Amino acid sequence: MAPLVLKPLDGSQKTLAFAQKSIRVGADERNELVIADLLVASFHALILCQGGLVRLVAYTDGETRVNAQAVTAECYVFRGDRLTFGRTEYLLLDAPKLCWNLPAH
């Protein structure tokens, strides 16, 4: 399966690729995406590729944003969206083809 690809928007040139269908996000080392940010909870959010869509599930209020809009429960995300956890921002570059069966928003 093609990976879900995130690019940190911290000025670095690296990208992060994840092959699994769910990615746990948070400050705890048991997450797949570990973020060292004081505004990020131990288990902050979950990114899922499910049913042909990419869904972001926020476990915290106010510190998770998509394109600068607060996410208080969950929302769908698309290629090109900016995902912010605390003060740490990522650009969603790509996901498994299965997840791109809808037109961009």
CA distance 46 to 22: 7
Provide the 10 A C-beta neighbour count for residue 10: 10
| pLDDT, tens only, 44-70 | 999 998 777 899 999 976 699 999 999
| pLDDT, tens only, 16-35 | 888 788 899 999 999 999 99
pLDDT of 61 reads 64
**Mean pLDDT, rounded, of the chain:** 85
Work out the pLDDT band at 99, boundaries 50, 70, 90: low
pTM of the model: 0.85
Q: Which of 104, 1, 91, 85 is nearest to 42 (CA)?
A: 85
The answer to whether residue 1 scores a pLDDT higher than 50 is no
Q: Calculate what percentage of the chain has a pLDDT beyond 70.
A: 87
The residue that leads in pLDDT, 2 or 70, is 70
Token pair listed for 75:
């929302």
